[in-house]
Amino acid sequence: MKQKKKQMELVQLQNQILQCRLCQEDFGFEPHPVIQGNSGAKIMQISQAPSKKVHETGRPFDDASGKKLRKEWYGISDEDFYNPNCFYIVSMAHCYPGKSPNGGDRRPPKICSRQWLLKEMSLVENEIYIIIGSYAAEFFFPGQKITALAFENKQINGKPAYILPHPSPLNMKWFKDYPEFTNTRVLEIRKAVHQVLGISESC
């Protein structure tokens, strides 16, 4: 009964998020909030912000970064990744923030995580957290560098938390500089993901 109530509350919250237009004036275009998952999702994955392609498709990590994340790092099927009972997929900013004048995407607006993310976290009964990218890592572990965090087992709300660099092709230099992440650490994180999901079984 408790889980059913949380799911109902989460659905109401998600509907509010999908209607959110707090940043429309700043963005200069129609925001498209992207969110997926149920209150009973086993893994809560929190990244930085949707890419331009995800903004257009509405499907989280539906890009080159997502393919690397699912296939090379997690070693799971698209079906498991997009199963709302397996993954709660969200970002510090629920919408694509637009391009920065200096190149790359703009930083996610802070108002989004303050307005929505913490409420979502209180309604999801996940077993582990996966934090992706330096911006998200800084939110949960202020003052700590992602280069160190990526190799440490941390906790959020008393639950195991794994921190990943962003799997973007633009991050290739980091992967070359720290080959032990791909050669060793990814295997540890993959094992944790498979254990929570029941290895190759569906949730």
pLDDT band for position 200 (cuts 50, 70, 90): low
Q: Across the chain, which distance is largest between two alpha carbons, in Å?
A: 50
Tens digit of pLDDT for each residue in 135-190?
999 999 999 999 999 999 999 999 999 999 999 888 999 999 999 999 999 999 99
- Residue 119: CB atoms within 10 Å: 14
Does position 100 have pLDDT exceeding 90, yes or no?
no
CA atoms of 24 and 31, how far apart (whole Å): 6
The whole-number pLDDT of residue 202 equals 47
d(CA 28, CA 109): 14
Q: Is the predicted pLDDT of residue 201 greater than 60, yes or no? A: no
Is 20:40 a contact under the CB 8 Å cutoff? Answer: no
Residues 6 or more apart whose Cβ sits within 8 Å of residue 140: 131, 154, 156, 161
- What's the whole-number mean pLDDT along residues 14-21? 95
**Rounded percentage of the chain residues whose pLDDT exceeds 70:** 97
User: pLDDT, tens digit, for every residue of 33-64?
Assistant: 999 999 999 999 999 999 888 888 889 999 88
Query: What's the CA gap between 102 and 91, in Å, rounded?
Result: 22
What is the tens place of the pLDDT at every residue in 57-88? Answer: 889 999 889 999 999 999 999 999 999 999 99
| Closest among 68, 84, 85, 65 to 76, alpha carbons compared | 68
For residue 158, give both structure tokens: 């008393």
Q: Evaluate if residue 203 carries a pLDDT over 60.
A: no
Amino acid at 161: A
Residue 128: which pLDDT band, with cuts at 50, 70 and 90?
very high
Radius of gyration of the chain (CA): 16
